[in-house]
Structure 1
Amino acid sequence: MASLQGLQERRRKRLRFQLRRKSGGRPRLSVFRSSKNIHVQVIDDARGITLASASTLEKTVREAGKTGADIAAATVIGKLVAERAVKAGVKEVVFDRGSYLYHGRVKALAEAAREGGLSF
């Protein structure tokens, strides 16, 4: 029987493979969700660099009184990363949800990033 971690790793690899095939050279909006925080990065895989990032661990987000474990914080992070990505000259990305379902915090982050100016 496969372990839960092994299944998540297979799901993550399968998704990244599909994204690489369909990306058309666009940067990847990668999400990492833990039980207490959420992190997001806009990554240019061709050059191997991070173009923009945001996290609930940043001082400005923590001072606003947001915890990292709710949908409201994910919405704030989605808008923040979209603002930073547009400032860096990125308008179109592919959404990499990792091994997480498109539901809850991940969905809220994606919708906020779309509202902030990113298209995917």
Structure 2
Amino acid sequence: MNIAEKRRQSRIKRQTRVRKKVRGTAERPRLSVFRSSRHIYVQLIDDVARKTLVSASTMSKEIAGELNSTGNVEAARAVGKAIAEKAIAQNINKVVFDRNGFLYHGRVKALADAAREAGLSF
């Protein structure tokens, strides 16, 4: 097993450990973050109904159009702000944060802070 595969397996272990405790409902959905080397994706998920309520990413045209690069902290802040605006438009103010096994540092932290500043509470 190479280093990249071992790192991926470690993230999946952390993800399952957290997912046992974190559940999203319609009133308080789960804010799930996924980051790759080039992009960052975020969804608000109702685990009871198994539905994605709102999503945003650096792949979407309105966000990617105003960014120079999609794989940095600035892009993560833009995605965090966008998800908060979309959630508030659907009367969702409280969420449960799911970092998806990623460390709460760098882009993940920037996204969370931007979402908090834009009005989401978690």
TM-score normalised by the chain length of structure 1 = 0.90
Distance 1:71 1:3 in 2: 25
Unaligned runs of 5+ in 2: none
For 2:16, which of 7, 13, 18 is the aligned residue? 13
The residue that corresponds to 2:115 in the other structure is 113
The count of aligned residue pairs is 118
Q: Greater shift after overlay, 2-11 or 44-53?
A: 2-11
The residue that corresponds to 1:60 in the other structure is 62
Aligned AA (2:103): L
CA RMSD of aligned residues (A): 1.8
The residue that corresponds to 2:35 in the other structure is 33
Distance 1:33 1:52 in 2: 17
Distance 1:91 1:61 in 2: 21
TM-score normalised by the chain length of structure 2 = 0.89
Unaligned runs of 5+ in 1: none
Is the CA contact 2:67–2:75 (under 8 Å) kept in the aligned structure 1? Answer: no
